[in-house]
Amino acid sequence: MKVNKYILRLNLEKDKILLVNLLTQKVLLCDSELVDILYNQLREDDIKINDPSVLELLKQSDILVSFDEDQYLKRLVKEQRDDNDNFKFHGFEFVLNWECNFACNFCIQKKKWDDNSSISLEKLDRAILFVEKYGKMPPYVTISGGEPLLPRNFSVVKTLLEYLAERNGKLAVTTNGFTLQMYIPLFEQYHSIIDTIRISITGPPEIHNRMRIHKMGMPTFDIVFNNLKKTLDTKLCSKIKILTHFNNKNIIYLDAWIKLLKKEGLLGTIPITFSILENGGTYSSTTLHEFKKREQLSQKLVEYFLDNLWVLKYINVDNGRGDFQIVKDIILNGKLPDIRMYHCNGLAGRAAVMSPDGGVYPCVIAAREGIFKIGTYSPEQRVDVNMLNKVRERNMISMISECKNCSLLPICVGGCPFSDLSLEELNRLKNGNISLVKCKSCMNKKLIEEDISNLFYKFKITYTTKISKDNKGG
């Protein structure tokens, strides 16, 4: 017997540690003494546990195993691979255009702002043919950009909604909210088709107006915020979500943003997600160090929430790697994470991004760069199975050799291959000098096992998980 190397160790408080078996989804609550014994003998084949009852408990929870963990993972991947002849995409993202009415300096799509191509009505008809041929029904479509709700896109969005209504599908929208008002009547007409409208707001007006400026130079906060509030008086009120991406510039406005959301009565009224900005091959290696501070930003979020635990009732945190959500599910909801064969549905070949160029890609960054093209929807509708399989090669099996000593491999799978790339690394990837497998954006083990776990455990013992809308104070 040996200690299973794929164990997530959540430090809840002093002398209380939750061992989460990431292979077979079992947990064991134990003390630090037992953990020290286990981890001092991590790769020994003869674990020395004197108490027979404790030994049996460790075996039952698969903390101690007699099988090869990597072979176990490889077998799972092979069993769950999709059939190339019968696969269906589970979801689609239509990048309606690369152009945007904002000029946000941090935008990962800014290199495409001068690209005037778009998904016209003619291209939309062909995109729908692709969805019908290769998509799982009923269809789920997200529209994005650039900014998808530009006035010129109105007829395209209307036609798409008409199609989705016929097929009992759903539409999600990612928008900066500036032109949302002109779309409200249309969206309200098709409110049963609208799944989500995500509005990006960077914080209170003093920072939002500096970071999310209109390309004509005007401030944007008041218009965006008023448009958001208008939707709350419509049938769309349950569809609205606020998304705030943080970097080093706006993280210092975190408390002011929370206070404004509370003052406006939005905490507990609509879902709010805090996330962290990605690089995505936008910056050179000389400036990338400014962006590789995800852990510091995550730590600042943890520190803030520790001092303001009540806020966690109303805010969902997503740092781009799943760290917060996984720990939250385990500690608050008793939900254990599934093994991830692939980092995302795009790499699994289950999600398709439709670019204005008529190509189909596994994700938006790939579409932006014109790489890993897995098919076309215009002028013809086809899937490139060879490229699809090349993308799928970045899976659990290939990442085992890259991440062989990491206990988080079953839930991380190397992370997003694009999110932390420098401009130079992205060019090497495009030129074939490095592979997708070599591109990683790893979870932070210490952050998960110590800081985030401690945060949600303190929240659990302080509050019930049921959120009362009548209690919005600290």
One-character DSSP codes across 361-413? ESSHHHHHHT-S--EE-SSS-EE-HHHHHHHHTSSHHHHHHHSTT-TTHHHHT
Token pair for residue 223? Answer: 């218009």
Percent of the chain at pLDDT > 70 equals 91
Judge contact between 412 and 161, C-beta under 8 A.
no
DSSP letter assigned to residue 102: B
- The runs of H, that is alpha helices, within 284-376 are 285-291, 294-307, 323-333, 364-369
String of DSSP letters for 410-429: HHHTT--SSTT--HHHHHHH
Q: Report the alpha-carbon distance of residue 429 to residue 415 in Å, rounded.
A: 16
Instruction: Among 132-136, 280-284, 403-407, name the most confident range.
Output: 132-136
pLDDT, position 47: 64
Residue 2 to residues 72, 157, 334, 406, 416: CA-CA distances in angstroms?
15, 57, 26, 16, 31
Give residue 82's pLDDT.
Answer: 57
- Least confident range of 227-236, 317-326, 330-339: 317-326
Q: For the chain, give me the number of helices (H) and strands (E)?
A: 19, 16
- In terms of Cα–Cα distance, which of 371, 325, 323, 329 is closest to 346? 371
Structure tokens of 394?
Answer: 């970045």
Boundaries of CATH 3.20.20.70 in the chain?
91-354
Lowest pLDDT segment from 192-201, 246-255, 267-276, 281-290: 281-290
Residue 166 tokens, joined: 């016929």
Confidence label for 249 from pLDDT (cuts 50, 70 and 90)? very high
Confirm if 390 and 433 have CB atoms less than 8 A apart.
Answer: no
Q: Report residue 93 as tokens.
A: 């993202």
Q: Which pLDDT tens digit goes with each residue over 61-81?
A: 999 988 898 888 888 877 766
- Give me the amino acid identity at 342: Y
- Count CB atoms within 10 A of the CB of residue 142: 21
Tokens 């549905």 -> residue: 345
427 token code pair: 């060019």
pLDDT in tens, 3-31: 899 999 999 988 899 999 999 999 999 99
pLDDT(44) > 60: no
The pLDDT value recorded for residue 464 is: 62
H or E element that contains 229: helix 221-231
Q: If you ran DSSP here, which 8-state letter would residue 468 be given?
A: P
CB 420 within 8 A of CB 292: yes
Residue among 358, 273, 282, 365 at smallest CA distance from 322:
273
Other C-beta atoms within 10 Å of 93: how many? 21
Say how many CA atoms lie within 13 Å of 428 toward its Cβ.
15
Q: What is the mean pLDDT of residues 371-388?
A: 96
> What are the structure tokens assigned to 84, written together?
């190339």
468 confidence band (pLDDT: 50, 70, 90):
very low
Buried b (16+ CB within 10 A) or exposed e, 410-440: bbbbbbbbbbbbbbebbebbeeeebebbebb
> What is residue 111's predicted lDDT score, i.e. its pLDDT?
87
Q: Give me the helices (H) in 240-322, please.
A: 254-263, 285-291, 294-307
Contact 210, 188 (CB under 8 A): no
Sign of the CA dihedral with 53 first, then 58, 61, and 64 last: negative
Please, are residues 309 and 473 in contact by the beta-carbon 8 Å criterion? no
| Contact indicator for 413, 395 with CB cutoff of 8 Å | yes
* Domain covering 91-354 assigned CATH 3.20.20.70 in the classification: yes
User: How far apart, in whole angstroms, are the C-alpha atoms of residue 453 and residue 447?
Assistant: 8
Contacts of 271 by beta carbon, 8 Å cutoff, 6+ apart: 241, 242, 316
Q: Which residues contact 32 (CB under 8 A, 6 or more apart)?
A: 14, 15, 17
